[in-house]
Amino acid sequence: MKIACLLMLLFLSILVSLLTGSVPITMNELREVLSLEGDYRLMTIVLDIRLPRSLLALMVGAGVAVAGASIQGLFRNPLADP
């Protein structure tokens, strides 16, 4: 249950990062862009700027989490226990 809530929170935060910015995008416009049927201007904004930024943030966060867990395990920190 905890993991499902965290995954839902992750999905919602990625969705918010795709929708917000200097050019606001609605859910319908985002759906059209992700299905490659939207306006060219919005496709450029989402596919070239916002989506790579969100995916890179996801990968960096995962990397920092793995690094932190391995450092805690390396130094036998009791906080690293599951």
Predicted confidence band at 75 (pLDDT cuts at 50, 70, 90)? confident
Residues in the chain: 82
Read off the pTM: 0.80
Give residue 73's pLDDT band: very low, low, confident or very high (50, 70, 90): confident
Domain locations in the chain as residue ranges: 2-80
Q: Residue 27 has which token pair?
A: 């859910």
User: Within 1-82, where are the H helices?
Assistant: 2-19, 27-34, 40-45, 51-74
The residues, ordered by sequence, that sit 6+ positions from 27 with a Cβ below 8 Å of its Cβ are 19
Tens of pLDDT along 53-62? 999 999 999 9
